[in-house]
Amino acid sequence: NLAFVGAHSVNGVAALHTELMKETVFADLHTLYPTRINNKTNGVTPRRWLQQCNPGLTRVIREAIGDGFIQDAEKLSALNDLATDTQLGERVAEVKRANKVALAEHLKATMGIRLNPDALFDVQIKRIHEYKRQLLNLIETVALYDQIRSHPERDWVPRVKIFGGKAASSYHNAKLVIKLANDIARRVNSDPSVGGLLKVVFVPNYNVSLAEKIIPAADLSEQISTAGMEASGTGNMKFALNGALTIGTLDGANVEIKDKVGDENIVIFGLTAEEVAERRANGYDPRAIIEGSRELGQALSMIASGVFSPDDRDRYAGLIGGLYEHDWFMCAADFESYAEAQRAVDARWRDPAAWRTCAIRNIANVGWFSSDRTIGEYAKDIWKVT
């Protein structure tokens, strides 16, 4: 409160975040100082997150539209005129596959796991936190594993689920989620009944250098935080800049990415921030939702009963029990919508030309999320640099 009163400007880091600050944390102060809060959506530097980490894609873009985007990322928009160009789509796909091969080779050398570079690389790399909902992703992974085993006759899209991130040292549930990811990976990757249709990888010691290998290789970017809880996020920007499609909630900068790339080039699911607040305020019964969803109930039962932790069958009983009792982060509430969105991703993946067009549209329309634009806005609107 003192900082707010003493400052001449207070800013949020995404449009939704800024509005939530006005309505919640600083509602009273915003009434007193209605012009003080302003928005400055985060950005990422294209020098590192395109040119340095993905030289192959940078080269393809330069040959397609020239060098202007090197100094001004918003000039990537010239790619929109070529989004349906077959030759460009094939070249972008070739670069993506080469990046996937490089990542697969790195993970084979460091972890001993073999991955199919022609599978869909589905990636969630970020700090481990309950609101970021790695747990929702893992529950859906278990449900998918169960479905593949139960219905081997279906035309499943091969997937590699890649997780990475660190947990605070005292954050028990976050560390338990890391343990769960590794336990699921151990079981799924050794099960011959799923063949090469599903692999799960938790990459150890996640850091920026690893991100520079993973992000250019990602096909699908998981940005699935509980709506209203992510200030902005910047991983979502990095992935889109490298031609990954986003599956996400209307949270943080996902809202603005959706506005920039278009509804047809992003996969949105789940409750809105307003709907989350309404459920919390009016009484939310996750148990009823779980008991009404056979797929969700089965997945939670598998985890809670020790299917993935035979050495300690009660390891995840408390973690899963929390979903039945309160589920503050709405994993049960969003599960069905998330699972449907994942199957929509499968359907899109089966049309390579359409997927490539979506990838190019993402690259073309996220130049606005450059940190150059963000810093320019700070300089002009807050610091008054002349």
Reported as a single tens digit per residue, the pLDDT across 215-248 is: 999 999 999 999 999 999 999 999 999 999 999 9
Mean pLDDT value of segment 359-382: 98
Distances (CA, A) of 330 to 108, 255, 300, 339: 35, 19, 14, 14
Angle between helices 294-304 and 134-150 (to 10 degrees): 100
Q: Which of helix, strand or coil describes residue 69?
A: helix
> What integer pLDDT is reported at residue 296 of this predicted model?
98
Cα–chain-centroid distance for residue 342?
12
pTM, 2 dp: 0.98
Chain centroid to CA 126: 8
Q: Residue 386: is its pLDDT beyond 90? A: no
Instruction: List, for residues 266-300, the tens digit of each pLDDT value.
Output: 999 999 999 999 999 999 999 999 999 999 999 99
Query: What pLDDT score does 288 carry?
Result: 97
Percent of the chain with pLDDT over 90: 99
Confidence band for 151, pLDDT divided at 50, 70 and 90? very high
The answer to whether 121 and 345 are in contact (CB under 8 A) is: no
- Cβ(358)–Cβ(64) under 8 Å? no
Residue given tokens 């928009």 in the structure block:
77
330: left (phi over 0), alpha (psi -120 to 50) or beta: left
Contact 221, 167 (CB under 8 A): no
**What single-letter DSSP state applies at residue 66?**
-
By C-alpha distance, which of 6, 5, 32, 30 is closest to 19? 30
Q: Residue for token digits 């993970």?
A: 107
pLDDT at residue 195 tops 90? no
Task: Give the C-alpha separation, 237 to 362, whole Å.
Answer: 10
pLDDT digits (tens, 9 = 90+) for 309-323: 999 999 999 999 999
The three-class DSSP label of residue 122 is strand
Instruction: Give per-residue pLDDT as tens, 71-119.
Output: 999 999 999 999 999 999 999 999 999 999 999 999 999 999 999 999 9
pLDDT interval class at 161 (50, 70, 90): very high
